[in-house]
Amino acid sequence: MQQTACKLSVSGLVELLREVVETNFVAVTLEGEISNFAAPASGHWYFTLKDAGAQLRAVMFRNRNRLLDSPPGNGMQVVCSGTVTIYPARGEMQFVADTLVQSGQGDLQAAFEALKLRLSAEGLFAAERKRTLPSFPMAVGVVTSATGAAIHDILNVLQRRAPDVRVLLRAVKVQGDGAAEEIAAAIADLNRYGDLDVLIVGRGGGSLEDLWAFNEELVARAIVASKLPVISAVGHEVDFTIADFVADLRAPTPSAAAELVAKSRLELEAHLDHLIMRLQARMSRELSLFSERLRGLDNRLKRTVRDFYTYPEEISTQERRLTLAIKGLLRQYGDQLGLAAGRLEALSPLQQLDRGYVIASLDQEGKLLAEAEQLKAGDSLWLRFARDQVRTRVEQVDS
């Protein structure tokens, strides 16, 4: 029986292949050697995974690779977890990596990267979620082993730097079976205790297996749920655990955690000395300013007192000047008045009486007559002489 060939477009065939690949290879873990590694400005990583018999193009997008401490190098043997797909634009199969660990780190490292990726996606590593530590805590809770080096280091630092700080130890197993459960329960217990300012959760250094309790999800979520700020202090400076990422602050060692908790007396004294110097400088500036103002007021007061004592003399001088000026004006106005009076006197009708003239008026008050027509026979008439006046009667009026 002859089979009829199915006619497909290139896009259609590539799409069918992509569906087959993505449906059957949902989660894949590959081990191989990295080559042709590239990290362009986009932030994505592009590389080739190869072994002795084959090679496969791979990509790790930036939202995944940002969780790694550093990019891999060409020739590095790695273990990657992810999915397989087909890139339609080139029709090439490629591997999309979600995690990448150096080969030989084993299953624990792969589990660490997987949990780290998942908790980061939940936002548990976000900086805005972290709380600030109190500046000068008076009570510190410590979750660690009672016999390990960590608690001794913490106590030594606190005794040296802040002996007044109280320490409450909640002893736990820090490795082995049940350690994660004890650590999570201890964090919850110290939160319920309530009379604490901050928690230190940690232990001394060790292998990845020794530190694994602090990579458990149970411990991570207990730290996130803590109402008290938590400092993670696990291992040495080069060690990183999930607890470091979710804690409010990571300390490279338990001793460093104690130093972060307690400010040393020397630091406090230096800070106080700095504040005193600033206060003294400020006071010196203010006193200098007040002194200048006081000198200015003193000078003004001295001028006022001097003026007060010189005012009587100035007043007397001004009084004499005013008296002289008034007298001068009075003489001037008196002379002018005398001249005016003389002129007025010269124009007075009374002056004519001394020369023999008579002033006639109708009454004694001196209502003068200007014309004879104002009179008639029988009218009384007053005649004023230079030194007396007489009354007479009109006998006849000639007009």
pLDDT value of residue 263? 73
CA distances in angstroms from 23 to 8, 28, 98, 253, listed in the order given: 21, 12, 17, 47
Radius of gyration of the chain (CA): 60
Supply angle C-alpha 188, 189, 195, rounded to 5: 110
At the top level of CATH, the class of 10-104 is mainly beta
The candidate with the shortest Cα–Cα distance to 110, out of 84, 82, 80, is 80
Residue 342 neighbours by CB under 8 Å, 6+ apart: none
Beta strand pairing status for 249-250 and 230-234? parallel
Please write the tens of the pLDDT for every residue from 3-59: 556 678 888 888 888 888 888 887 888 988 888 899 999 999 999 998 888 999 999
CATH architecture, domain 130-263: 3-Layer(aba) Sandwich (3.40)
Domain ranges of the chain: 10-104, 130-263, 265-347, 352-393
The candidate with the shortest Cα–Cα distance to 119, out of 42, 219, 45, 249, is 219
**Ranges under pLDDT 70 in the chain:** 1-6, 104-109, 264-266, 268-269, 305-311, 346-353, 363-367, 399
How far apart are the C-alpha atoms of 100 and 35, rounded to whole Å? 14
Please write the tens of the pLDDT for every residue from 264-300: 555 766 778 888 888 888 888 888 888 888 888 878 8
How far apart are the C-alpha atoms of 84 and 25, rounded to whole Å? 6
pLDDT value of residue 107? 61
CA distances in angstroms from 310 to 27, 110, 342, listed in the order given: 108, 102, 48
This prediction has a pTM of: 0.48
